[in-house]
Chains A and B, each alone.
Chain A
Amino acid sequence: MDKFDNVMESEEKTYAYTPGLKVKEYMTLSKKRVLPISGRVLVKEGQTVSPETVVAEMKMLGEPHIVKAALLLRIEPNEINEHMLKAVGDKVDEGEVIAQYIAFFGLIKRFVKSPVTGTIENIGASGWVTVRKPPVIVDLKAYIPGIVKEIIPERGAVIETSASYIQGIFGVGGETYGPLRVLVNSFDEVLTAEMITPESKGKIIVGGSFVTLKAVRKATEVGVAGIVVGGFGGDDLTGLLGYEMGVAITGEEEIGTTLIITEGFGEIAMSHRSFSLLKKLEGQVACISGATQIRAGVIRPEVIIPQEQVKEKAIEDEISSGMRPGTPIRIIRQPYFGYLGSVVSLPMELQTMESESNVRVVEVELDDGRRVTVPRANVEIIEI
């Protein structure tokens, strides 16, 4: 562009890539455990917590019930206050009369009873009365063992622990924990129903490239706490959930176990690094969550294996700063989906792909020695 006279220094690294999934053998992990609304924090700074420790509790507003009182009494809405036996803020029991209409010296009597036990919240100009049920107490557990590093007033706490950490790409089911049990011999072996025996009850079981729907069902029957595996069938997901998932927002499914896939849909070998780490830590307790949210604040499923003490220098969680020649990457789309390699070069010019799309590319040397060119958008950095 000769139109410009201020020539910029060339950059040695490039920005803007899909954040890689973390696989870390040792790290200091901070987990923010917060209530969705204000509540009471039950732990203190410096306190040691277990996954079951209740960190905070909140009162969920009770369910409101609307009583069409004026209609039931057959009066005008603006007359409702004259017929109310209870005022806003009064506590009422289920079946208790809250409003009445008496006429003709008691010959006509009409009553309105509260449908629930609760509090009168509103007597509306529309002639409706709102009775709200008592609040429900909801607990928030620590989910991982560790030390309370920070208190977030009225919301929760930050729990810190030393741990090994593996991020998955997609999961279903909520938070759980149990000892790790590896059921396959290799990262590219399929986890089948026959491999799941009653010994796996309460465990987090690890498979290789794929888990069959039958195996997930067997795991649920046996009482397996969770499954960590490379891939799962896209159509099997519908079979498992009983409905077709349209957007990846998960974590609330009640499927009897938690399923985490580390690579993607289809049969894809689990990354060697993740598998080796899980194998190495077999027998140790892992805390896992299947919660995934791709949109509006990414949440990825995770496997946290707390370590009593950090054996090497713990690495703080950090944001990946970019890709340079030599950066290890994983290809995340066909035709090299799942391949690992390292960056050779980052050509500035757009290049034409087989699809004829002109895109910015990265030249990659695959672990098997081949050199391939793929769109930059189709790789993720392996964070070491």
Chain B
Amino acid sequence: MMVLRKPKKDMKYILATDVGSTTTKARFFMKNEEGEWRFLVAGEAPTTVETPYEDVTLGVRNAVREIEELTSYKILSEEASGIVVPFDGERGVDLYCTTSSAGGGLQMMVAGNVKSITAESANRAALGAGAIVMDVIAIDDGREDYEKIRRIRTLRPDMILLAGGTDGGTIFHVLMIAELVKAAKPMPRLGMGYNLPVIFAGNKDARPQVKELLGEDFSLSVVDNLRPVLEKETIEPTRRNIHELFMEHVMSHAPGYTKLTKWTDIDIMPTPAGEGMAMQLIANAYKSNILGVGLGGATTNIYSIFDGRLVRSVSANLGMSYSICNVLKEATVGKILRWVPFGMEEKELINMLRNKMIRPTTIPQTLKELIIEHAVAREAIRLGFEHHKTIATRLRGVKVERALADIFEQSLAETYIEMIKIGIIVGTGGLLSHAPRRAQSLMILMDAFQPVGVTRMFQDSVFMMPHLGVLSTVYPEAAWQIFDKDCLLRLGTVIAPLGEAKDGEKVMEVRLETQSGESEARQMNFGEISSISLGEGKEADIIISPAKEFDVGAGRGKALETKVKGGVVGVVLDARGRPMNLPEEKRKETLLRWISSLSLYPDAQMRDLAEA
């Protein structure tokens, strides 16, 4: 419920937090004398959802207390009852809002008739609402009924989304799915004092029977069919209902959230939903196709906004702390070590990652451990993006108008994401935002996503995209001002031609001319990477002339004349080829050369590590 305690025009201070799975991050914003909203300071503290604390508000207080220490400004009430809202002339903030993914976030099970039609639509609706989808059950998912029942029984989700059938069509199949759910009687994850919420978003003609079947044992809510006809997907009513139930059932049963809900002015939002809104702000502002990643401690969220269509995927098992060993499991040791430019025993890597898993809030103090975490991050994003491409498929988009014949070819559908048409890549999450050198996060994003053509690279400066996403729901002007000035760090522009060649062969010639008349020309050969300095806010004219086997956006061998924007890293020329393959021979030397070209890590320590 939105209840602002002061008119927006009179607001002076805003506090936003994100209660993450590992860390609670508080961000403090203030309106300056020119009337412009700016980010002021950050405070962070471990999340206290777990024993012995079991109260998320402790972590919030600790994070806010850090802001108080850094600013000498009081925000917390003296009686430890919460945050002073609104600003009373001496202390407090005018608006407090938060996102949350602590305690596992929102975990859902999705069920539908046909795997590639309604079940997929339901999956996308749940993901779009910020949920982690534990499983997708469908009549044709290849499992026997008893296997489906067993699976539903063991899942213990926060809620179930049930879809199936078009309006006016047969109700037979969707009732089958409802009967499976009834037979399984799954328990809600957070306790037993309430019935598990089930959302029915299927054939409207089946509503009476579904109510009869599930009404007694479950907390059933009915919304518009998310596939009323085959050619249309209507996700919004389902997404809204998921958010309402998230607040009503999930948040109210998580430790300390009832208290936190009283502190906030607007509904607590799942972190990925906040992140998704922030991604949308970027796409709207730049009118570009974008790819984004929220690399968290427990999950990796990938967002794409392609031709105006926002798709989110979550890899619930890929993360940088709690789930770091899942990255190891899915990527394998070899895939992680391939990014490491020094010798390391597999055993040492495994122990290091397992220790991170059991002590997830620790941070790398040594360069060696930092480089290892960066290697894992590349693999987590790469795997997350692979997963994303299986969801962002041509025939599964929102309101896709298509011929009936196409629908039966869904299994053949491939992703519609074309890297050459992606104009912006954005990274957020603790590891990326806290990377000591900005070039490190640019390189991680570049190695994992492998942008093609001319792509701008952005980064969340101090991890506040979820905060600004939730703020944008009530105060979009303030959210965008902070976003543009303080959050969205322009790393630079990557130029990476599509194609492959042999080491040393010419890939492209680049001629760049700045607005002040300075010019620079470079020839890039295969396997090289380098950068041209072009600061944040600067623009330059560039002519990229690729070799005949390479395409930079204008066609194979055709020159592209365009403008490029600068950033803290500058314009990065990546001639490592697309798809990029790490050389098996002289791999470490090659990695060291790339590291040196972009000054990714301190030279002296890097040399010591490589020689050790």
User: B-contacting residues of A (Cβ < 8 Å)?
Assistant: 1, 3-8, 10-11, 15-19, 36-38, 61, 63-66, 77, 121-122, 124-128, 130, 132, 169-170, 233-235, 237, 244-248, 264-266, 292, 294-299, 317, 319-320, 332-335, 337, 348, 353-359, 374-375, 377-378, 380
Query: Nearest B residue to A18 by beta-carbon distance?
Result: B361
Q: What are 12 A-B interface contacts by the 8 Å CB criterion?
A: A1-B72, A7-B72, A38-B192, A66-B180, A122-B213, A128-B176, A265-B351, A355-B369, A355-B370, A357-B363, A357-B365, A357-B436
- For residue B322, CB closer than 8 A to chain A, the reply is yes
1/0 per position for B362-403, CB-CB distance to A under 8 A?
Answer: 111111111000000000000000000000000000000000
- For residue B175, CB closer than 8 A to chain A, the reply is yes
Interface size on B, residues (CB 8 A): 86
- For residue B194, CB closer than 8 A to chain A, the reply is no
Query: Nearest B residue to A332 by beta-carbon distance?
Result: B359
B175 close to A125 (CB less than 8 A) = yes
Minimum C-beta distance from B358 to chain A (A): 5
Minimum C-beta distance from B154 to chain A (A): 11
CA distance A355 to B21 in the complex (A): 24
Residues of A within 8 A of B114 (CB): none
Known: A3-B30, A8-B74, A124-B213. 18 other contacts (CB 8 A): A7-B72, A8-B69, A18-B362, A64-B183, A124-B175, A125-B172, A126-B172, A126-B175, A130-B179, A169-B359, A234-B350, A264-B358, A265-B358, A295-B104, A296-B104, A333-B364, A355-B436, A380-B359
Minimum C-beta distance from B368 to chain A (A): 8
CA distance A292 to B50 in the complex (A): 13
A297 close to B362 (CB less than 8 A) = no
1/0 per position for B536-573, CB-CB distance to A under 8 A?
Answer: 00000000000000000000000000000000000000
Residues of B within 8 A of A16 (CB): 45-46, 59, 62-63, 66
- For residue B588, CB closer than 8 A to chain A, the reply is no
B73 close to A354 (CB less than 8 A) = no
Query: Nearest B residue to A356 by beta-carbon distance?
Result: B436
CA distance A246 to B346 in the complex (A): 16
Query: Nearest B residue to A77 by beta-carbon distance?
Result: B172
Residues of A within 8 A of B62 (CB): 15-16
Minimum C-beta distance from A118 to chain B (A): 12
Given A319-B52, A357-B363, A377-B363, A125 contacting B171 (CB threshold 8 A): yes
- For residue B314, CB closer than 8 A to chain A, the reply is no
Binds A, one of B241-249, B323-331, B412-420, B505-513: B323-331
CA distance A335 to B146 in the complex (A): 51
Residues of A within 8 A of B52 (CB): 19, 317, 319-320
Minimum C-beta distance from A173 to chain B (A): 16
CA distance A50 to B42 in the complex (A): 51
- For residue B51, CB closer than 8 A to chain A, the reply is yes
A17 close to B183 (CB less than 8 A) = no
Query: What is the interface of chain A mostly: helix, strand, loop, or mixed?
Result: loop
Residues of B within 8 A of A11 (CB): 65, 69
Instruction: Choose from A61, A124, A235, A298 the contact partner of B50 (Cβ within 8 Å).
Output: A298
Query: Nearest A residue to B61 by beta-carbon distance?
Result: A15
Minimum C-beta distance from A125 to chain B (A): 5
- For residue B486, CB closer than 8 A to chain A, the reply is no
Minimum C-beta distance from A91 to chain B (A): 17
Minimum C-beta distance from A274 to chain B (A): 16
- For residue B408, CB closer than 8 A to chain A, the reply is no
Residues of A within 8 A of B434 (CB): 357
- For residue B68, CB closer than 8 A to chain A, the reply is yes
B45 close to A64 (CB less than 8 A) = no
B72 close to A4 (CB less than 8 A) = yes
- For residue B360, CB closer than 8 A to chain A, the reply is yes
Minimum C-beta distance from A72 to chain B (A): 14
B365 close to A375 (CB less than 8 A) = yes
Instruction: Choose from A17, A126, A169 the contact partner of B179 (Cβ within 8 Å).
Output: A126
- For residue B149, CB closer than 8 A to chain A, the reply is yes
A122 close to B45 (CB less than 8 A) = no
A4 close to B354 (CB less than 8 A) = no
Residues of A within 8 A of B502 (CB): none
B50 close to A296 (CB less than 8 A) = yes
CA distance A128 to B49 in the complex (A): 43
Minimum C-beta distance from B48 to chain A (A): 8
Point out which of B149, B175, B348, B362 has the most chain A C-beta atoms below 10 A from its C-beta.
Answer: B362
- For residue B578, CB closer than 8 A to chain A, the reply is no
Within 61-86 of B, Cβ neighbours of A (below 8 Å) are at 62-63, 65-66, 68-74
Minimum C-beta distance from B531 to chain A (A): 19
Residues of A within 8 A of B359 (CB): 18, 169, 264, 332-333, 380
Residues of A within 8 A of B90 (CB): 5-6
Minimum C-beta distance from A32 to chain B (A): 11
A66 close to B179 (CB less than 8 A) = yes
A234 close to B347 (CB less than 8 A) = yes
Query: Nearest A residue to B373 by beta-carbon distance?
Result: A355
CA distance A218 to B348 in the complex (A): 25
B71 close to A124 (CB less than 8 A) = no
Minimum C-beta distance from B545 to chain A (A): 37
Within 130-167 of B, Cβ neighbours of A (below 8 Å) are at 145-146, 149-150
- For residue B126, CB closer than 8 A to chain A, the reply is no
Query: Nearest A residue to B192 by beta-carbon distance?
Result: A37
A8 close to B73 (CB less than 8 A) = yes
B369 close to A295 (CB less than 8 A) = no
B46 close to A353 (CB less than 8 A) = no
Query: Nearest B residue to A373 by beta-carbon distance?
Result: B365
- For residue B209, CB closer than 8 A to chain A, the reply is yes
Residues of B within 8 A of A3 (CB): 30, 73
Residues of A within 8 A of B354 (CB): 234, 237, 264-265
Instruction: Choose from B30, B46, B73, B184 the contact partner of A64 (Cβ within 8 Å).
Output: B184
B71 close to A1 (CB less than 8 A) = yes
B358 close to A294 (CB less than 8 A) = yes
A244 close to B329 (CB less than 8 A) = yes
CA distance A370 to B374 in the complex (A): 30
Residues of A within 8 A of B71 (CB): 1, 4
Point out which of A18, A247, A337, A380 has the most chain B C-beta atoms below 10 A from its C-beta.
Answer: A247
Residues of B within 8 A of A126 (CB): 172-173, 175-176, 179
Minimum C-beta distance from A65 to chain B (A): 7
Point out which of B323, B325, B358 has the most chain A C-beta atoms below 10 A from its C-beta.
Answer: B358
- For residue B451, CB closer than 8 A to chain A, the reply is no
Given A126-B175, A296-B50, A66 contacting B145 (CB threshold 8 A): yes
Query: Nearest A residue to B68 by beta-carbon distance?
Result: A8
Residues of B within 8 A of A128 (CB): 176, 179
Residues of B within 8 A of A235 (CB): 346-347, 350
In the A-B complex, the 10 residue pairs with the smallest Cβ-Cβ separation, listed nearest first, are A246-B326, A356-B436, A16-B45, A234-B350, A298-B50, A64-B183, A355-B370, A234-B354, A16-B62, A4-B73
CA distance A173 to B185 in the complex (A): 28
